Amino acid sequence: MGKPSDQQLSRRDLLRIGLTTTAAGILTGGLELALPAPAQAQAQDPLPSWKDGAAKKAIFEFVRTTTDQSSAKFVPPEQRIATFDQDGTLWVEHPMYSQVVYCLDRVPAVVKAKPELANVEPFETVMSGNREAIAKLPTEDLVKILAATLTGMSVADFEAEVGQWIGTARDPRWKRPYTELTYVPMTEALQYLRANGYKTYIVTGGGQDFVRMYSEKVYGILPEQVVGTAGGTTYGYDKNGRPFLTKDPKLLLNDNNAGKPEGIHLMIGRRPYAAFGNSTGDREMCEYTKAGDGDRLAMMVLHDDAQREYAYGPAQGLPDTKVGTFTQALYEEAKSKGWVVISMKNDWKQIFAWET
């Protein structure tokens, strides 16, 4: 991206702005600590949902090498940064990014507040409930929906609206809160890295303010460690002279593709030692991470488990859906550059916390 305001959001970017939560009960708001966990925590397998294999081994090796003071590749604790894409990496992104579901769900309230929109596109189509027609809305219409539902209100109102939605919305397949659709192996990886002094960040194409609403509760990641697609705010005063921030439609950071390393520089200020993604949108983040000296880890989640979750993407000769595209070229690049591909089917014993 580079110059956000010059940028056009692609349709995929827009869909990507929709995020949601997962892994509800597993993590209960545990704080990030920059200190090693007590020794007994390491005695058991810290990644019990991972099958033995190259992926699990890569994580163990990386942590061992970078935290062993006698290792030539030892990383001082203050430099231990690990970044995680969210949609498709930490939780389900198929068939639609949860934040897009949120935006569509918010349209009735927007139309109620501004009845003149009821007969204006794209609001009329969204209000019709015709999913096929909604799925075909052109990019400029999606922009209008995102702008109408994510900007123009105070930060406090936005947070109240998102909080309400997260507490009540259910995904269509499992009929569970989106916050229960997180991947147990990835929450284990987050915890394991934190237990070894890594500061974990979400670096998402989704909306920064949206993800911050649940990241602490769901992933144990504090708001200040969420980097996402971000718009500006405007400081102003209410009628009582009390200051508040209003969310602007102005885009400051489109946190996808090249925008991920750019966002990491803006928000964190240094190169990660580990990066986790699942699509072409995470390619540059992995590339940037691996370009650092010492031992760096890049991992890519492959959605190849149609039964327990979903299987999609050209890397497997499967359809390219609108979410998290994993191309054949990306697959080959990952293999050639030592980025570790995680097979959900073969590397994960368990995917969701509620599986029996």
Residues that bind a copy of itself (CB under 8 A): 1-5, 31-35, 77-78, 81, 155, 199, 208-209, 212, 216, 222-224, 226, 230, 232-235, 242-243, 245, 248, 250, 252-253, 258, 261-262, 265-270, 284, 287-288, 291
Q: Which is nearer to a copy of itself, 153 or 268 (CB)?
A: 268
Q: Which is nearer to a copy of itself, 214 or 348 (CB)?
A: 214
CB 185 within 8 A of CB 347: yes
Minimum distance, C-beta of residue 169 to a copy of itself, in the bound complex (Å): 22
- Please tell me the distance from the alpha carbon of residue 38 to that of residue 35, in angstroms, as a whole number: 9
Ordered DSSP codes for 82-140: EEE--BTTTB---SS-HHHHHHHHHHHHHHHH-GGGTTSTTHHHHHHT-HHHHHT--HH
Return the structure tokens found at 17: 């702005």
Minimum distance, C-beta of residue 352 to a copy of itself, in the bound complex (Å): 26
| Region class of 317: left (phi > 0), else alpha (psi between -120 and 50), else beta | left
Minimum distance, C-beta of residue 118 to a copy of itself, in the bound complex (Å): 30
Alpha helices in 79-122 (DSSP H): 98-113
Minimum distance, C-beta of residue 22 to a copy of itself, in the bound complex (Å): 20
Q: Which is nearer to a copy of itself, 78 or 140 (CB)?
A: 78
Q: Which is nearer to a copy of itself, 180 or 209 (CB)?
A: 209
Q: Which is nearer to a copy of itself, 18 or 207 (CB)?
A: 207
Minimum distance, C-beta of residue 212 to a copy of itself, in the bound complex (Å): 5
Three-state DSSP at 34 gives coil
Return the structure tokens found at 174: 């499992």
Tokens 């990030």, located at residue: 32
Give the DSSP H/E element, type plus range, for residue 260.
helix 259-267
Q: Which is nearer to a copy of itself, 270 or 335 (CB)?
A: 270
Minimum distance, C-beta of residue 270 to a copy of itself, in the bound complex (Å): 6
